[in-house]
Amino acid sequence: MYGTALDQTQGVGGITAPEPVGWRLEDIDFAAIDPVLANENEALLLLLVASSFIESGTRLYASNLVVHFEGDHEVSAWLAEHWEPEELQHGRALRAYVACVWPSFDWDRAYVDFIQAYRPLCTMGKLEARRGLEMAARCVVETGTTTLYRAIHHRVREPVLRTLLRHISEDELQHYKHFFRYFRNYQQQERSSRAAVFGALIRRTAEISREDTDIGLRYACAERCRGTTHAPLPFDELQRAVRALLRSSVPIGLAGAMWLRPLQLGPYAERQARRIFSLAARTVMACSA
């Protein structure tokens, strides 16, 4: 299935140029969707809607990143020519999938409401002041998306969605590799301490855990309640269902390896840190059930 996992995170420093977009939305055969398998799990579909909102809102924070890295031509070019178009394609692809499975779902209306709530959160003040630390924080975001899409892929049986999720999670891993490489480049000049890098990782983790997905889910759920003819899933029940889904499927080992990598620990410290990460992640997920 996925042959990437930890090995691919090892070679981050070896990437010399951005890869071209490896797949196109036009290549996805949406007509081949199996409607029975596609409708197996309402919470999972609502999570896909929430993800499509966040991916489609990429421009809000992409413009902040472009300002933050102004003058760094390599980073600016990669953000504009690869990263942003790929994130937007993720949003379009997930939206198109949901439109096939739930034709009556008014994505546009829900997205307008979502963006109103989401826009105030995408401010320059949320970025790390030092460029290298912002690159480390971006690694946290891409760790989250890589492992989220892998977790959903693990739970899905519908073949078209499985293909889509594989493409998207592979893109997210490539994004991680680029941000990590840029982080290492900036570290050569800025030399932020390990404590400073750890602080940036923790801050961005706290921010994305409490904001993005919950806002997306809230507006996805609200629209589903408006548009559906059967009893809708209450929001708190949806949150519990999504957490249960992620708790059993998130690849914690991979998440730990990716999250910890910007700390550039030695082998022994890294092994210990991975154990602590795994324990902390399982505890947090159990407590939020």
- Would you count residue 134 as binding Fe ion (CB under 5 A)? no
Closer residue to Fe ion, CB minimum distance, 149 or 233: 149
Alpha carbons 168 and 160: distance in angstroms, whole number: 12
Nearer to Fe ion, 94 or 238 (CB): 94
Residue 55 or 170: the one with the smaller Cβ distance to Fe ion is 55
Question: Of 68, 90, 153, 177, which one interacts with Fe ion (CB under 5 A)?
Answer: 90
Q: Nearest approach, Cβ of 191 to Fe ion (angstroms)? A: 27
The Cα 12–Cα 173 span in angstroms is 10
Nearest to 159 by CA among 32, 9, 20: 32
CA 149 to CA 169: how far, in whole Å? 5
Residues 184-213 that bind Fe ion (CB under 5 A): none
* 131 contributes a contact to Fe ion by CB under 5 A: no
Minimum CB separation of residue 99 from Fe ion in Å reads: 18
Q: How far is the CB of 173 from Fe ion (least distance, A)?
A: 9
Candidates 169-177, 208-216, 246-254, 268-276; binding stretch for Fe ion (CB under 5 A): 169-177
* Close Cβ partners of 271 (under 8 Å, ≥ 6 residues apart): none
Q: How far is the CB of 40 from Fe ion (least distance, A)?
A: 23
In angstroms, what is the minimal distance from the CB of 201 to Fe ion? 17
Q: Is 170 in the site for Fe ion (CB under 5 A)?
A: no
Q: Is 172 near Fe ion (CB under 5 A)? A: yes
Examine residue 175 and tell whether it contacts Fe ion (CB under 5 A).
yes
Binding mask 22-41 for Fe ion (x = CB under 5 A): --------------------
What string of H, E and C letters represents the secondary structure of the chain? CCCCHHHHHHCHHHCCCCCCCCCCHHHCCHHHCCHHHHCCCHHHHHHHHHHHHHHHCHHHHHHHHHHHCCCCHHHHHHHHHHHHHHHHHHHHHHHHHHHHHCCCCCHHHHHHHHHHHHHHHCCHHHCCCCHHHHHHHHHHHHHHHHHHHHHHHHHCCCHHHHHHHHHHHHHHHHHHHHHHHHHHHHHHHHCCCHHHHHHHHHHHHHHHHHCHHHHHHHHHHHHHHHHCCCCCCCHHHHHHHHHHHHHHHCCHHHHHHHHHHHHCCCHHHHHHHHHHHHHHHHHHHHHCC
Stretch touching Fe ion by CB under 5 A, among 114-122, 165-173, 196-204, 250-258: 165-173
**Shortest CB 181 distance to Fe ion, Å:** 14
Which window, 48-56, 123-131, 225-233, 279-287, contacts Fe ion (CB under 5 A)? 48-56
For tokens 């197996």, name the residue. 40
The minimum distance between CB 1 and Fe ion, in angstroms, equals 19
Nearer to Fe ion, 168 or 242 (CB): 168
Binders in 69-88 for Fe ion, by CB under 5 A: 87
Identity of the residue, 55 or 134, whose beta carbon is nearer to Fe ion in the bound complex:
55
**Residue ranges in contact with Fe ion by CB under 5 A:** 55, 87, 90, 142, 172, 175
